Each structure stands twice: as structure tokens, then as C-alpha cells.
Structure 1
Amino acid sequence: MSYQVLARKWRPRSFREMVGQTHVLKALINALDNQRLHHAYLFTGTRGVGKTTIARIIAKCLNCETGITSTPCGTCSVCREIDEGRFVDLIEIDAASRTKVEDTRELLDNVQYAPSRGRFKVYLIDEVHMLSTHSFNALLKTLEEPPPYVKFILATTDPQKLPATILSRCLQFSLKNMSPERVVEHLSHVLAAENVPFEADALWLLGRAADGSMRDAMSLTDQAIAFGEGKVLAADVRAMLGSLDHGQVYGVLQALLEGDARALLEAVRNLAEQGPDWAGVLAEMLNVLHRVAIAQALPEAVDNGQGDRDRVLALAQALPAEDVQFYYQMGLIGRRDLPLAPDPRGGFEMVLLRMLAFRPADTDDAPKPVLKPVGISQATADPANPVAAPAPAVPPPAAEPAPAAPAAPAPLVVPPPATVDHEPELPADAELRAEVEAISVPEPVAEVVDLPWEDPAPTSAPVAEPASAPRPTPQAAPTAAPPVHDEPPFDPSAYAAVGMDRDDEPPLDEDYYGGESDPVGFSYLDELAEHVQEEAPAPAPAPLPAAKPATGLALQWLELFPQLPVSGMTGNIAANCTLIAADGDDWLLHLDPGQGALFNTTQQRRLNEALNQHLGRTLNLRIELVLPEQETPAQAAARKRAERQQGAVASIEQDPLIQQMIKLFGAKVRQDTIEPVEALANQGQ
């Protein structure tokens, strides 16, 4: 008898023999036991996970001579014929080779005929996503309402290519990939039953190489048995697959942990003897580091998918968590840059040496760089030695030109200034400036004026003066001109008028003065001044902090103000008021006198109308210019802004990254640049 490969010999023949896919088997077993059978099933999943196997088992369950059951006998003629692939009512169709619409029509022409041997006629269409669009359209109606004796079972590895009309007519089951643990467990059972010696490490290599497919694992096991002359050994499997020895990756990580450059390069040399793919080696290192990071965060979450759980846990105990994160990030960057290296091995070695060279800042062997001072002049830092650094380029002030002296100048000694108990201390910059100015004056001047930042003039300095001029007394000595202060630049925003909107229509006609002009009298000017004072908008001063928090009527006004339909100057008047009395429909408001420039009868009328509109009744509103004792809406808004600003400043100052920058680099936080998040969001809108 010819040899039968393991994948076919050990194909499951019942649901009990299936490995994995419990979520699919449970639904199918319950449906068969309860006779709740659908007319179309769709199985999706990667290659070798059991799609066709489950379809054949369903065909046996439906046509077994013992009846419709989830546990077919496996001994009747129908079960044997299905296992041998010669049951006439199980029609297996390869959609990849029969994609034309004519093939689908031929299939549908036979649907109308009843089954020959079995209870149901089962159509198994494999790789159904390969059918053409016309074939899918031709299949739709029959797939939706087939004869009661017809069952469709579709299988595909790419369900995204199926039309939604097909998916909606089927019960869809997604088969999962096989985990390495499950593959190793099944291979151990198969090899033990076949009396083939094996090593556990070899099975883990086969389980990872199978990549979730049980059929691939069985095929690789057949190849390993042939390669190892009847044995499945780890060295033979590693040589057959051309894979990397997993232990060598741990050797590289152990050398990194110990900081041993010699051992690190020796490990690379041992790797090079196998001629590996250096990008694959880096990927294997990243895989191990990922599992080490999981072990440090949650040790019980580490799986044994590669048979090295104990080594991962040991490495997680020995390697600091920050080193694991750093090595992982450095490995990712190195894998990206590896194609740019002149030599792949050299690029891999540079990645490892880079990992070895850098250490976190808080370790004992971390480099301690000396930071040069930024923005600090040496003269300021060392006032005792002002000439240690070059003097700043400050041009000396231009000396006043001395008057022309006659032929016979007479020396004049200026009386010394009044003595003081002690000389004022000057900063280093002022001393340096005084010294430079003293050296750079070539000629004595006619008059010496003591500047506030200079030392008093020496008493023995001669001053040239005309001979005929009388000796001036200290009272007659000319005094220095007062310093001229530059006017600050004009800021139009400080005097900008409050913007008007549609709520602020022009005042009524009776508010304007309509008399004749009087160019010589003052009546017109008085009236014009009153009109401008009443109607011209003026900048609203900032509200003063409230003396007391709002309670009672004042608190009710705080809650009522945001609901009023007012804006512009009328809204500003209402924001700076507080409710003092509310006797029925007679209301009294106190307005901050600082806002009196904006207040007039028009604003009072508009505010009264807004209250009437909001409350639905007619009020008699009076407003008096009296400083409110309790908090107004404007003061409440200013207080909330200040609290948000203080919270933003505190959040910035307490930020660990900001504190680290201040500590390491001498950084300073400019509080005038800090804005709350709400303020920035409002600016973006």
C-alpha cells in the first residue's frame, strides 16, 4: 500500500476529532441535535484550518444511515463513501477552475433533481470568491430558496471579495488560526501514535513555522521526518527551515544586560556563521522584548507560544523596564534603517552598539554631560573679576563740546560734593562702564554733571575756563537739564470704542440736539458735549472685584443675566448691575459708577424691554449709579477667568516635563504666554 501523508491520514472524520474551532463546532452540533438546519453555510478562514473538513463532516451528519445527528457512525456505507471521496450526493466544486457563468448554470440545472443515495444533496463550493460576477448573480436565487433536499456549503479564504448579496443568504462561520500550543499538542499526539521520536523544541519550531495552519504543520512534520531519517530533532528542523536558533537571541540580550561588548560581538559572530537574515534577527529580538515587556507588566499574561516562557520571565526580572522600552524603540528604528547600511551585518552591529552605548539618565553609568551656561554673561556671574570676560561693546556717551578757551586759561577746582557716610555699591556693569568712560575721555570738559550711575567726580580734576570769567559759586553753578521721558507709543486699542451690533441701533431722534449753531456762544458746545457724553461709546473699564459673594436677589440676577436677549453696550450695562430690590413689577438695579459713561435712558429702556420679553410681563425698571456690594455678572466672569488662568499656570508649573527642563537647562516659564484651554478653544472658533 502506498504511503499516505499525515495531513490526509489524520484528517478528522467527526466533530470529536476536530482540533480547535470550538466556537464553530458548538453552533453546528446544537443545530444538528435540534434539527434547526440552514440551507446555506459559509466557512471563512486561512488555509489549513478545517473548512473543507467541517463541510464533509456536515455531509456525513446529514446523510448518515442512523439519521440526522451530530455524531455520525462512521461505519455505514454513506459515511465510508464520504470519507473515501466517492459519495454521489456530495458534489465538491472547485470555484477557482470553474469561474464561468456557464459552469454555474450547469450546476443549477442539476439542483432540481432529488438526491440519488442520501437524504440531502450537498454542494460544497471551495474558494467561492473566485466566481465571476455573473456566476454570483446566477447563483443568487437558487441560494436563497433552494429545494428542501439541497444544502449549500461555501468555503473561502477571502470573504471580502464576496458580494453582500451572497453573505446575507448564508450562515457565516469564521474559523480561527491555530495557536502554536495547540499545534504542538496535536503533533505530539500524532508522532506518538506513529512511533516517531521527536524533541519538544523541534515541535515548537514546526508550530511557529505553520503560522496557524494545522495542515501546514502536518506537511512540515512529514518533511522533518524525511529530513531527520525517521526522527524529528530540533537541530534538523532548524537546518531544514533555515530559522534562527532562538537561544542565540537570548545570548545577545544577555550581553546587552551585562554591558559586555566582547560577548555582544561574539554573539554576532556566531549568528553570522548561519548566514541569517539580519532584519529577521532584529524582528526576533523585538518579539522577545515585546514578551518581556508583557511579563514585566502582567507576568501571568505571558504565553508559552514559543516554548520559552521561563526564559522570558527570568529576563523580565533582570532587565530594567526602561531598558526594555529603549531597546525596543532602538530596534524598530534600526530595522527601518538597516537597508541603508553599507553592510547588513555592520548595520546590525551598529544597532547593538547603539543600544550598548546609551543608558537612561538615572543609572550610575550614564554619561554626565557638562551643560554650558546659556544667556549668562561672565561679568554678571563673577562681579569680583569684571575684566575676566571681554567688556560689552557699549559706546561711551558723547562728551559735550568745551567752549573755546582764551589764551590764558586759569585752572578751576570744582568743590567736592557733600560727603556721605558710605559709597553706594554699583553693579559690575556700572563699574565697568564708569571705568571705560574714565579712560576714554581725552580732554577735561568745562562742566562735570554727576550721573546717578557714575562715581562722584574727583576733586582734583582741573577745568578750563576763560580768565576773565568770575569764579562761580556753588549756588551759581548751572544744573543739569531734567531727563526727557519718551512718550509711550499710541495704542489705538486702549481707546477703541465698544463695538456695536444690530442690538445697538442709532439713538432716537429726540436724543439729538436740533438747534442752530452758535459760533460765538457756548450753548451749542455744551449741548454737543452732553450729546457726546450720552451717546458716544467709551471703553468699558475692567470690573472691580466684588466685596461680597452674590446671595439672594444678586444671585438670582447672576442666573438671569445669561438668559437675557441683550448684547453690545446694553449687555455690558446689564453685566455690571446687580438686583437690589424686586417689589412686584418694580425692580431696582445698582450699576457700577465706573460704567456710567455707557449708561443713558436708551440703554435703560432696552434693558427693560429685554426683561419684559424674557419674563413675559411688564416691569418698571430703575437703575441707580451705586457701587454694588455683591458680585455682578461681569465680576463673576472675571473671577472665573482668573481662576482658570491660575489653574493653567499651576498645571504648567507642576508638569514633570517642565520641571525637568527647568532643572536641567535653567528654563523659565513665561506666565504671560499661558492661556487656559477654554480660551484657546474659543480663539480657534
Structure 2
Amino acid sequence: MDNFIVSARKYRPATFDSVVGQSHITNTLKNAIHNQQLAQAFLFCGPRGVGKTTCARILAKTINCENITENTEACGECNSCRSFQNGNSFSIHELDAASNNSVEDIRSLIDQVRIPPQTGKYKIYIIDEVHMLSQQAFNAFLKTLEEPPSYAIFILATTEKHKILPTILSRCQIFDFNRIQVEDMANHLARIAKNEGISYENDGLHVIAQKADGGLRDALSMFDQIVSFSNKEVTYRAVIDNLNILDYDYYFDLIQHIAKQDAAQALLIFDKVLSNGFDGGHFMAGLSTHLRNLLVAKEPVTLKLLEVGETIRKKYLEQSQQLNNGLLLSALNIANQCEINYRTSKNHRLQVELALLKMCHISTAIQLSASGTSTEVDVKKKLTSNPTPEAKPKSDTTPITNATVAREAAIPQKNEEANPQVSSSTSSIPTARPTPSPTSEEQKLATASKGWGAMPAKKLLPNLNSILEAKADEKEENELVQGSEFVAVSEDEFLAKWNIYADRIKKDHKITLFTIMSANVPRLIGNVIEVDVENMVQMEEMKLGKVDMLNYLRVQLRNYALEIREVMIESTQIRKPYTSQEKYQAMVSKNPALETLRKKFNLGLS
């Protein structure tokens, strides 16, 4: 019992090659020692437990080693190495800035720096947690750090680089330590387990490495805890039970029930998770990670992104092949939205259960979306298959869609331009507009709509959030004229129709929209019309009038692929003030006395 040493200390690296996961830093330091290009100050920064202080000690020991090996490592046998390992070196000093952060402590350090080393070539000072120094202490340390004696080297270590003064940073060579990869950490734990004669499972070591979140010291502490808990048998189940981690099996079973649309079992699994003491937010975060891993496992190229053990990796491969991308993406979107709403919700359990219920009905939504799309196409074909309205029954009362009205209203206008005499003779004859009777496909469409809150089935998308929320963009798309003509449009022909429509809206007293259309010449790029707007007021006005504008241009130019894109003019260009604030600022720029008057009488803007 008295001789027990925790693994974090017992297996602390003593050479550069034994440092785990920081080869980009250790190689640089070895080259600097080999080429004798050592800086007077180093700054090691990064998260906790990744080897900052360890690398600082190895660097200090190697610099003063009397017999450096060919691999640029300390020999460990000379007087300097032995005195450092025994903790009685007179040339290497460690200072904890958390407890020695005053100006007096730094002044004492500066006085010690003036004394040359008694043994060894350099006098090295390792200052840990350097960000804890006060601002006065930093300022007192500046001059010595910038121009130390030739034999003095400072190695600073910190977990919070942003708290260090820029003047300190500029005087140091900065080395950023990375979080240690899960695979590197698991391999290191496996080597320790073999040395200690401990039986282990790779999946259990991977779970420890993931829980450590890149910190090797945390991983070693958990490893020692589990070894004591399981009597030197580090199994996957022992790790899950001891560290209170949600088992992968929960998520694998849950996804299977979601794919089968078994909402009852999904809710029972979540209830079991809560009964075991886990938080709902933690459960949703794990579910999001699980769905992400399933998407990653879909492709062999991205399979290397799975940081799990070999057994768990095979489970991910098997389950990912059973599910389609639409289901996984929609479920991941729902889980992400639930995590956002979870923080602000008062009923956390309801948020998670609602998300699970949505996921269980994704497959139904996808099927209804597919059937709704095909039914809509069939209905449109039947509506347009008979061009003679006399063949339709007169008793039908089914309403016609906006798109049909806009299309048929635009056709006489087009014929009128082609042959005005014919149109004038026929325009005075009133004609009744018969409507088609509801077909079986329409009845199926209406039946499918009732099950989803009377929402049209054609609006159902694979993404369940889009099904539950009616979007204004979809309504806007349904009002656009649709057709099969895609005739190439010339610039002159487009501008001619553009100006005709601008004159029309001017007569309708839509002055703002007319100003937008006439102020700048639009650009026709392929099938996209780019229109310049100067501010958000014009942007909103353009969005309101875009549907009618496209309906006219598509029919007149016989190209139903035309789209309009609003382009905000850069702020460097001069634009007119529109809001009250902008008008007031423009007036103040001309007469600054207005601002003085407003402040004197405490006036506001209406």
C-alpha cells in the first residue's frame, strides 16, 4: 500500500519518444537541440493532461544532459540526469505561478537568474500555470524574459493562453499541444495493462479514452479506478457500470425501434435511461453522436472517423446498412433541434419524448411524401388531358388552383398580342369555366392529409420538422406559374418585357417596386435575374412582388425556369435614407447643430 504509485506518475514519459500524441512538438524540440538553436523562452499551451509540464521537464533534462544520445535523448545516467530525477538539481528550477504570482516572487526569480549555473550548461526555469501571474508580475518579468543571460532558459506552461499578455507571447516560442487522439490513448492504456498484468477488452479501453476527452492524465485516473473496481479485469461492462456511461446498446436498440416505427418501445427505452440516473440532455447528445456515427459508417472512405473499438465498429456497419440516409438525416435534424429547445424548456422529458415520437413517424412521412408527389402529378395530367371544357360535367364545383388560374389567364393575353383582331372579337363572349370532378387519386390525397392535421400531403417532406411547420416559401412556390417550356431568352427581349411590366405596376401606383425596377438595369445570367436593391425595405418589397413578376415574365418569355435573385448593393455606394434614423443622420451630417438641439430638449425620433 505504501509503495503504490498512480499510473499517471508511474508511467510519466521520461524521453521525447515516450510522449503520447505530440510528435509535432517533440520532433521540433529534438531538432532545435540537435542544431543548437534553442530559444531563450518557450511557451507550452493546451488543455489539461496532454503533456505540457512533462515535455518541459524532458526538454530541461535533455538540454543539460552531458551525454546526449544520437537520437537526441537524455542519457539518464550522467550526474545532471540523476540529480534531476532525484529532485535535487541546482540547474533546473520549477515554479508554480498559481501560488507564487506576486511581484515579489518574480523579483526573487530575477535575482536568482543573475547567478550562473553551478553544474550543467544552462540554468532552466519551468513556470507552470503562468497565466496565474498578476499583471504587475508580468510587467516585472518582461525585461528579463526578453534579454536573459546566455545561460538562462525559461519554459512557461499554461492551459489558458488567452490570459497571457501579448507582450509576453511575443517574447516566446509558442507550442500548441493537441488533444490526444482516442486511438493513441487506447494503445497507451493497453501497453500499461500488459506491463501490470491486467486483462482488458479493447472496447473498454476505447470508452475510457473517449470519456477522457483528449486528456491522458484523466484517462489514467479512470483506468486506475476501474482496475480497483473490477479486480484487474478492464471489461467493457465494467467501464460502463463504473463510469456511469450510457451503453451503446441503448442507442442500437432505440434506432431499431425507430426504424420499425415502434414508438412505445422507444419511450420505454428512454424511461429506462432516466431510471438509471442519466440526464435527458446527455441522452440526446449521445443519440446525436450515434446517428452521426451511422452516417459516417455508410461510406468506406469515412469509416476511419469512427473512434470506437472493433466490436462496436462492426455493429455500426451492420446497422448503417439497414437504414437509409433520409431516415438518418431527418432523425439527426430532429435530435439537434431537441438539444436546442431542451435548454429553454420547462418540461425536459416532454421535449425528448416528442423528438422520439417524431423520429418514429419519419418513415410514414417519407412514404406519404412520395405518394403525395405522384398523386399530384397524376391529377395535373388528368386536369390538362382534355383541352375542351365542354366535355366536362357542368355540375362540378371543385376549386381550381392558383397556378392553373394564373397559367390560363396568361394564355389569352399572349394570344392577344399575337393576333389582336381575333382576341377582340372573342373577348366579349362570356364562357363558363367548368371544373373537374374529384378523382380517386384526389380522394386518397385528402384522406392522407387528414392524418397529418389537415395539411396537404404534397407538402410532406422527408424532414419531419418541415412537415410540422408550414413555411411561407412553400406557399410562394405554389403560386408560381409552372410549365414545360424553357426557351432561351435574349437580353433585349428580356429588357423589353421587363420595362412593359414596370410601366404596368406604375399605373397600379406601386411606386416603390417601380423605383426598384427602373433605378438599376437588371442582369440576366442564364435563367437567373439579378435585381439590385439598396436596403432592407426594398428587399422586402421585391420579395412581395416577385411572384407576380415571375408569373408575367415566365409566360411572356416562354421560359418557366426563370428565377429572381435580390442583390444588396454594397455599403460603399451612396444610397438614399429610408428609415427615420437614416434621415436624421443625413440631416445631422449637413447641420450638426440639430444634434445639440435634440440633446438640449431631450427629443426623440418618431
Q: Do the structures match in fold with TM over 0.5? A: yes
Q: Equivalent residue for 1:464? A: none
Q: Given the alignment of the two structures, is residue 647 of structure 1 paired with residue 537 of structure 2, yes or no? A: no
SS of aligned partner of 2:120: coil
**From 223, 233, 236, the counterpart of 2:235:** 233
Change over 3 Å in CA distance of 1:233–1:387 after alignment to 2: closer
The separation in 2 between residues aligned to 1:26 and 1:227, in whole angstroms, is 38
Q: Aligned partner of 1:36: which letter?
A: Q
Q: Given the alignment of the two structures, is residue 175 of structure 1 paired with residue 197 of structure 2, yes or no? A: no
Q: Given the alignment of the two structures, is residue 670 of structure 1 paired with residue 551 of structure 2, yes or no? A: yes
- The alpha-carbon deviation at position 669 of structure 1 amounts to 4.9
8 Å Cα contact 1:187-1:218 kept in structure 2: yes
8 Å Cα contact 1:62-1:120 kept in structure 2: yes
Change over 3 Å in CA distance of 1:200–1:649 after alignment to 2: same
For 1:221-260, list aligned pairs within 5 A. Answer: 221-260=223-262
Q: Equivalent residue for 2:138? A: 136
Q: Aligned partner of 2:244: which letter?
A: G
Q: Given the alignment of the two structures, is residue 428 of structure 1 paired with residue 428 of structure 2, yes or no? A: no
8 Å Cα contact 1:88-1:116 kept in structure 2: yes
Greater shift in the superposed pair: 312-321 or 183-192: 312-321
- The alpha-carbon deviation at position 131 of structure 1 amounts to 0.7
**From 289, 302, 305, the counterpart of 2:291:** 289
**From 327, 330, 333, the counterpart of 1:329:** 333
Change over 3 Å in CA distance of 1:667–1:272 after alignment to 2: farther
1:337-384 deviations in Å (ceiling 9; x for gaps): 33566654443222111111234765368685999x9xx9xxx99974
For 1:454-603, list aligned pairs within 5 A. Answer: none
For 1:405-444, list aligned pairs within 5 A. Answer: 427-428=431-432
Q: Equivalent residue for 2:459? A: none
The separation in 1 between residues aligned to 2:331 and 2:549, in whole angstroms, is 33
Q: Given the alignment of the two structures, is residue 73 of structure 1 paired with residue 75 of structure 2, yes or no? A: yes
Q: TM-score, normalised by structure 2?
A: 0.63
- The alpha-carbon deviation at position 256 of structure 1 amounts to 1.3
Q: Given the alignment of the two structures, is residue 44 of structure 1 paired with residue 48 of structure 2, yes or no? A: no
Q: Aligned partner of 1:347: which letter?
A: Q
The separation in 1 between residues aligned to 2:336 and 2:566, in whole angstroms, is 38
SS of aligned partner of 1:670: helix
The separation in 1 between residues aligned to 2:120 and 2:326, in whole angstroms, is 66
The separation in 2 between residues aligned to 1:276 and 1:162, in whole angstroms, is 38
Greater shift in the superposed pair: 353-362 or 139-148: 353-362
The separation in 2 between residues aligned to 1:47 and 1:193, in whole angstroms, is 25
The separation in 2 between residues aligned to 1:99 and 1:277, in whole angstroms, is 40
- The alpha-carbon deviation at position 335 of structure 1 amounts to 2.1
- The alpha-carbon deviation at position 68 of structure 1 amounts to 8.7
8 Å Cα contact 1:56-1:82 kept in structure 2: no
8 Å Cα contact 2:208-2:223 kept in structure 1: yes
8 Å Cα contact 2:295-2:325 kept in structure 1: yes
Segments of 4+ moved more than 6 angstroms: 364-367, 380-383, 387-390, 640-643
Q: Aligned partner of 2:10: which letter?
A: K
SS of aligned partner of 1:644: strand
Change over 3 Å in CA distance of 1:160–1:679 after alignment to 2: closer
Q: Equivalent residue for 2:167? A: 165
Change over 3 Å in CA distance of 1:341–1:175 after alignment to 2: closer
Q: Equivalent residue for 2:451? A: none
The separation in 1 between residues aligned to 2:327 and 2:107, in whole angstroms, is 65
Change over 3 Å in CA distance of 1:681–1:169 after alignment to 2: closer
The separation in 2 between residues aligned to 1:21 and 1:286, in whole angstroms, is 30
SS of aligned partner of 1:122: strand
Q: Equivalent residue for 1:354? A: 358
Q: Equivalent residue for 1:440? A: none
Give percent identity, aligned residues only: 33
Q: Equivalent residue for 2:317? A: 313
- The alpha-carbon deviation at position 389 of structure 1 amounts to 9.4
1:413-467 deviations in Å (ceiling 9; x for gaps): xxxxxxxxxxx9963379xxxxxxxxxxxxxxxxxxxxxxxxxxxxxxxxxxxxx
Q: Equivalent residue for 1:452? A: none
Q: Equivalent residue for 2:211? A: 209
Q: Equivalent residue for 1:19? A: 20
The separation in 1 between residues aligned to 2:5 and 2:134, in whole angstroms, is 35
Q: Aligned partner of 2:186: which letter?
A: V
Structure having the higher Rg: 1
Q: Aligned partner of 1:96: which letter?
A: A
The separation in 1 between residues aligned to 2:274 and 2:241, in whole angstroms, is 15
- The alpha-carbon deviation at position 196 of structure 1 amounts to 1.3
SS of aligned partner of 1:172: strand
**From 109, 112, 122, the counterpart of 1:110:** 112
Structure 1 unmatched runs, 5+: 391-423, 431-543, 546-637, 652-665
Greater shift in the superposed pair: 247-256 or 352-361: 352-361
8 Å Cα contact 1:358-1:366 kept in structure 2: no
The separation in 2 between residues aligned to 1:109 and 1:680, in whole angstroms, is 63
8 Å Cα contact 1:303-1:309 kept in structure 2: no
Q: Aligned partner of 2:193: which letter?
A: L
Change over 3 Å in CA distance of 1:84–1:249 after alignment to 2: farther
Q: Aligned partner of 1:108: which letter?
A: I
The separation in 2 between residues aligned to 1:349 and 1:327, in whole angstroms, is 13
For 1:54-93, list aligned pairs within 5 A. Answer: 54-66=55-67, 70-93=72-95
Hey, which of these two has a bigger chunk of helix by percent?
2
Where relative contact order (Cα < 8 A, 6+ residues apart) is larger, the structure is 2
Q: Given the alignment of the two structures, is residue 191 of structure 1 paired with residue 193 of structure 2, yes or no? A: yes
SS of aligned partner of 2:341: helix
Q: Given the alignment of the two structures, is residue 261 of structure 1 paired with residue 263 of structure 2, yes or no? A: yes
Change over 3 Å in CA distance of 1:283–1:366 after alignment to 2: farther
1:289-342 deviations in Å (ceiling 9; x for gaps): 222233336633543412233333333322211222111111111223335666
Change over 3 Å in CA distance of 1:248–1:95 after alignment to 2: same
SS of aligned partner of 1:56: helix
8 Å Cα contact 1:202-1:234 kept in structure 2: yes
Q: Equivalent residue for 2:157? A: 155
The separation in 2 between residues aligned to 1:338 and 1:366, in whole angstroms, is 32
Q: Aligned partner of 1:329: which letter?
A: N
- The alpha-carbon deviation at position 267 of structure 1 amounts to 2.9
User: Would you say how many aligned residue pairs link Structure 1 and Structure 2?
Assistant: 426
The separation in 1 between residues aligned to 2:52 and 2:390, in whole angstroms, is 80
Structure 2 unmatched runs, 5+: 384-388, 400-427, 435-491, 494-517, 532-546, 555-561, 576-606
Change over 3 Å in CA distance of 1:360–1:325 after alignment to 2: farther
8 Å Cα contact 2:42-2:156 kept in structure 1: yes
- The alpha-carbon deviation at position 190 of structure 1 amounts to 0.2
The separation in 2 between residues aligned to 1:68 and 1:123, in whole angstroms, is 23
SS of aligned partner of 2:255: helix
8 Å Cα contact 1:649-1:671 kept in structure 2: no
Change over 3 Å in CA distance of 1:269–1:382 after alignment to 2: farther
Q: Aligned partner of 1:245: which letter?
A: D
The separation in 1 between residues aligned to 2:390 and 2:347, in whole angstroms, is 51
- The alpha-carbon deviation at position 182 of structure 1 amounts to 0.9
- The alpha-carbon deviation at position 141 of structure 1 amounts to 1.1
- The alpha-carbon deviation at position 681 of structure 1 amounts to 5.4
- The alpha-carbon deviation at position 210 of structure 1 amounts to 0.9
SS of aligned partner of 2:287: helix
Q: TM-score, normalised by structure 1?
A: 0.56
- The alpha-carbon deviation at position 180 of structure 1 amounts to 1.1
- The alpha-carbon deviation at position 48 of structure 1 amounts to 0.8
The separation in 2 between residues aligned to 1:263 and 1:228, in whole angstroms, is 32
Change over 3 Å in CA distance of 1:97–1:281 after alignment to 2: same
The separation in 1 between residues aligned to 2:282 and 2:134, in whole angstroms, is 39
Change over 3 Å in CA distance of 1:151–1:381 after alignment to 2: farther
